[in-house]
């Protein structure tokens, strides 16, 4: 494999493009220059740090450090899920449900791929496990946050319909089923859209990355297919678990709708 290595100096010229954006913002008074500067600095610092962290992890190949890195990734992803909710679940569940479902879904699917398709040595090798987990987490996170958002919003909006069914002797499962279906549909939509558009509209980042690194396009495609299958599985599992869990949390053993358990409305 041959690829063109970049030095930090090679990045100076492309970085001027961001400076150009800043000048545009000043000239047109978009008032974005401060945000733009912060975002750019954050991006550079975060990426360089991750580069060094990964270098360390790949050198160490330690199960403990790898697990810790994976755990931190899940934590950040669950924070992201909570931040995207207009209405929040009660107490510890606001983080716990998202984190638990992501750990379950992304963890299971990543393990599955490591133990069957890829089989690196050792099986948890961070060079394979962490990028896989990262890609699956990112997409599972989108599915879960969309699913939960639609669930809580629809329950508030469709409260009369749900309670009408409950009042007529429906179980909580019967009463919530239409809303649960909507929530699951929304959670699954992004991955299905991206599967349909992939290759025609968008060339996925990982595949282009591998091609730039000198991998044969067909080999890069196989990797991308693996990733897409894993993402579809992870999103399905995670969204299902989160929506069913959320529906259970917002009802109780006497089959009542408990919207009082949706606590604060976060600013969006």
Partner 1 sequence: MLTVNGLRRLHISVSFELRDGECVALQGPSGVGKTLLLRSIADLDPNDGTVKLDGTLRETMPAPAWRKRVTYLAAEPGWWSDTVQEHFTGWGDALPLATRLGLPDDCGPWPIQRLSTGERQRLGLVRALMLRSRVLLLDEPTSALDPASAAAVESLIAERISNGTSVIWSTHDNAQARRVGSRIFAMGPDGGIEESRT
Smallest separation, CB 255 to partner 1 (Å): 4
Task: Please list, in sequence order, all residues whose beta carbon lies within 8 angstroms of the beta carbon of residue 103, skipping any fewer than 6 positions away.
Answer: 74
Smallest separation, CB 157 to partner 1 (Å): 11
Instruction: Compare residues 80 and 182 and give the one whose CB is closer to partner 1.
Output: 182
Could you give the C-alpha distances from 206 to 182, 217, 221, in angstroms and in order?
31, 12, 10
Tell me, what DSSP letter sits at residue 86? Answer: S
Among left, alpha and beta (phi > 0; psi -120 to 50; other), residue 127 is alpha
- The residues binding partner 1 (CB under 8 A) are 158-171, 175, 178, 252, 254-258
Task: Please list, in sequence order, all residues whose beta carbon lies within 8 angstroms of the beta carbon of residue 83, skipping any fewer than 6 positions away.
Answer: 266
Nearest residue to 132 (alpha-carbon basis) of 111, 117, 152, 110:
110
Instruction: Compare residues 57 and 166 and give the one whose CB is closer to partner 1.
Output: 166
Instruction: Compare residues 42 and 248 and give the one whose CB is closer to partner 1.
Output: 248
Smallest separation, CB 154 to partner 1 (Å): 11
Instruction: Compare residues 131 and 178 and give the one whose CB is closer to partner 1.
Output: 178
Smallest separation, CB 251 to partner 1 (Å): 10
Smallest separation, CB 260 to partner 1 (Å): 8
Smallest separation, CB 94 to partner 1 (Å): 21
Instruction: Compare residues 119 and 157 and give the one whose CB is closer to partner 1.
Output: 157
**156 phi, psi to nearest 5 deg:** -65, -45
Task: Please list, in sequence order, all residues whose beta carbon lies within 8 angstroms of the beta carbon of residue 145, skipping any fewer than 6 positions away.
Answer: 80, 81, 84, 85, 98
Instruction: Compare residues 121 and 260 and give the one whose CB is closer to partner 1.
Output: 260
């Amino acid at each position: 494999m041959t690829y063109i290595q970049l030095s930090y100096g090679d990045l100076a010229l492309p970085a001027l493009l961001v400076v150009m954006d800043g000048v545009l913002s000043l000239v047109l008074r978009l008032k974005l220059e401060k945000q733009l500067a912060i975002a750019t600095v954050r991006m550079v610092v975060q990426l360089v740090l991750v580069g060094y962290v990964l270098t360390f992890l790949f050198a160490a190949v330690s199960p403990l450090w790898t697990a810790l890195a994976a755990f931190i990734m899940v934590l950040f992803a669950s924070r992201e899920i909570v931040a995207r909710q207009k209405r929040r679940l009660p107490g510890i569940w606001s983080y716990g449900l998202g984190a638990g479902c992501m750990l379950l879904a992304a963890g299971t699917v990543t393990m599955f791929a490591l133990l069957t398709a890829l089989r690196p040595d050792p099986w948890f090798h961070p060079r394979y496990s962490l990028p896989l987990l990262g890609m699956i987490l990112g997409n599972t996170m989108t599915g879960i946050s969309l699913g939960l958002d639609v669930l809580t919003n629809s329950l508030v909006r469709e409260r009369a319909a749900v309670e009408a069914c409950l009042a007529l002797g429906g179980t909580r499962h019967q009463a919530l089923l239409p809303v649960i279906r909507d929530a699951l549909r929304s959670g699954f939509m992004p991955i299905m859209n991206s599967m349909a558009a992939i290759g025609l509209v968008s060339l996925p980042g990982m595949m282009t990355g591998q091609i730039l690194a000198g991998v044969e396009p067909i080999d890069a495609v196989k990797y991308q297919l693996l990733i897409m299958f894993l993402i579809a599985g992870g999103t399905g599992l995670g969204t299902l678990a989160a929506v069913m869990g959320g529906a259970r949390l917002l009802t109780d053993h006497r089959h009542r709708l408990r919207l009082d358990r949706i606590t604060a409305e976060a600013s969006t």
